[in-house]
Amino acid sequence: MNAHDMPQNSVTASLHYDERYMEAALSYGRRGMGTTAPNPSVGAVVVVDNGNGGRIVGAGWTQPGGRPHAETVALAEAGEAARGSTLYVTLEPCSHHGKTPPCVDAIRAAGVRRVVVATVDPDSRVSGRGIEILRQAGLRVTVGICEAQALRDHLGHIRRATLGRPMVQLKMALSRDGMVGLRGPRPAVISSPESFGRAHMLRAQSDAIMIGVGTALADDPQLTCRLPGLEHRSPVRFVVDARLRLPLDSKLVRSARKVPVKVITTETAPVGPEIALRAAGIDVLRVRETLPGRIDLPAMLGLLGTMGLTRVMVEGGPTLANALLDEGLIDEALMVAGDVVIGGEGLPAFDEPVEERLWRAGLAATSTFRVGPDVMTLYQIS
């Protein structure tokens, strides 16, 4: 009997059961975000049916550096209990030989009876082949449970596999009157401590963080994760700097030997500042120009893709944000509305309302929530 032959209440119960365990797998997968590049951060749980709704006997997520994979970790924890079980995994199991054997081999060897997959892997080395191998081996395979959430969680991997670039998440803090700061090289505090904590968690879940040189000059930021216990999760820091104006005495330069800093500039930028930055431990990456002094942003993101990066968080000011939005290169935007009013000395984020600006870039609000006194709105590609 298949799902189409089952009574409707049985189908509904089965879907609810599958969704519950896939949500658990997705939750595990998020633990590795920002640590697994160039691999996706996958989550997996092994469930045995105990006649009372099932029980998780093994759980795992992709480990730092991308190996071992989530399925291998979960199956190892389950041990012999995996025989006859159901494996829930947030991305199609790999079927190709790399530095480790294919996960489909480990799944078959463990004696798993059924595999539930959230979404197919678009990587051309897999892309349906893993699912087909498991079915040919006699396993029951269900695809598409919690797929919408899995697509969001794995968007970085999907973008790199299909477009050759990482996912780009824009994070901006705006005052109540739509300003991102004060004009000139003067920082302004807009967000609450609670919002800062959320922002630092986002940094920990990113492979890289990026700003424009204007933000570096105005704010002199560190761009590290400073949450207790997660300091080691600070992402690689990028500065988009077409004319190599990043000061040698900035916090970014002075800390470059502790947390990597890379400066992206144009092919025609002066050589002298590059030599000084390299001497301070900074990588300088030159990208072609579209116009004099204007970096080719798609080429820049393509370069980051070749470096294995999948999730890039942009915390820059309006110049970089608007340039990326104009090119359709923002996949997700988190806008933090503070309760501060800056007034006439403020630097506006956009020259139109936030909703309209993001809508023109193909982004629509999907959720709004409060963090301390601030309101955060998440916009995602529609």
Q: Are residues 293 and 261 in the same domain?
A: yes
- Consult the annotation and say whether 317 binds a ligand: yes
**Residue 346: closest CA among 219, 183, 189:** 183
Task: Please report which helix (H) or strand (E) contains residue 366, including its range.
Answer: strand 363-371
Angle 180-186-187 (CA atoms, 0-180°, nearest 5)? 55
Of the residues 105, 127, 154, the one at which a domain ends: 154
**Rounded CA separation 178/349 (Å):** 6
Q: What is the pLDDT of residue 21?
A: 96
- Consult the annotation and say whether 69 binds a ligand: yes
Q: Are residues 171 and 36 in the same domain?
A: no
Q: What is the pLDDT of residue 10?
A: 45
What is the chain's pLDDT, residue by residue, as a tens digit (382 residues)? 333 333 444 445 567 889 999 999 999 999 999 999 999 999 999 999 877 778 999 999 999 999 999 999 999 999 999 999 999 999 999 987 666 688 999 999 999 999 999 999 999 888 889 999 999 999 999 999 999 999 999 999 999 999 999 999 999 999 988 998 888 766 678 888 899 899 999 999 999 999 999 999 988 999 999 999 999 999 999 999 999 999 999 999 999 999 999 999 999 999 999 999 999 999 999 999 999 989 999 999 999 999 999 999 999 789 999 999 999 999 999 999 998 889 888 889 999 999 999 999 999 999 999 999 999 999 999 7
Q: Are residues 184 and 306 in the same domain?
A: yes
Contacts of 379 (CB under 8 A, 6+ apart): 332, 333, 334, 335, 358, 363, 364, 365, 366
Q: Are 122 and 150 in contact (CB under 8 A)?
A: no
**Rounded CA separation 330/347 (Å):** 21
**Rounded CA separation 114/110 (Å):** 11
Q: Are 111 and 83 in contact (CB under 8 A)?
A: yes
Q: Are residues 215 and 344 in the same domain?
A: yes
Angle 118-119-120 (CA atoms, 0-180°, nearest 5)? 140
In a domain, 1, yes or no: no
Domain that holds residue 137: 8-154
Q: Are residues 26 and 80 in the same domain?
A: yes
DSSP string, 71-105: HHHHHHHHGGGGTT-EEEESSPPP-S-SSS--HHH
Q: Are residues 244 and 285 in the same domain?
A: yes
Q: Are residues 127 and 199 in the same domain?
A: no
Q: Are residues 19 and 80 in the same domain?
A: yes
- Consult the annotation and say whether 303 binds a ligand: no
Q: Are residues 128 and 203 in the same domain?
A: no
- Consult the annotation and say whether 320 binds a ligand: yes
In a domain, 262, yes or no: yes
Tell me the residue length of the chain. Answer: 382
Of the residues 97, 130, 154, the one at which a domain ends: 154
- Consult the annotation and say whether 203 binds a ligand: yes
In a domain, 351, yes or no: yes
- Consult the annotation and say whether 285 binds a ligand: no
Q: Are residues 281 and 299 in the same domain?
A: yes
Q: Are residues 352 and 223 in the same domain?
A: yes
Q: What is the pLDDT of residue 3?
A: 36
Angle 114-73-29 (CA atoms, 0-180°, nearest 5)? 85
Q: Are residues 52 and 115 in the same domain?
A: yes
- pTM of the full structure: 0.91
Q: Which residue out of 23, 71, 92, 355 is catalytically annotated?
A: 71
| Number of domains the chain contains | 2
User: Catalytic site residue 71?
Assistant: yes
**Rounded CA separation 24/116 (Å):** 13
- Consult the annotation and say whether 311 binds a ligand: no
- CATH code of the domain containing 294: 3.40.430.10
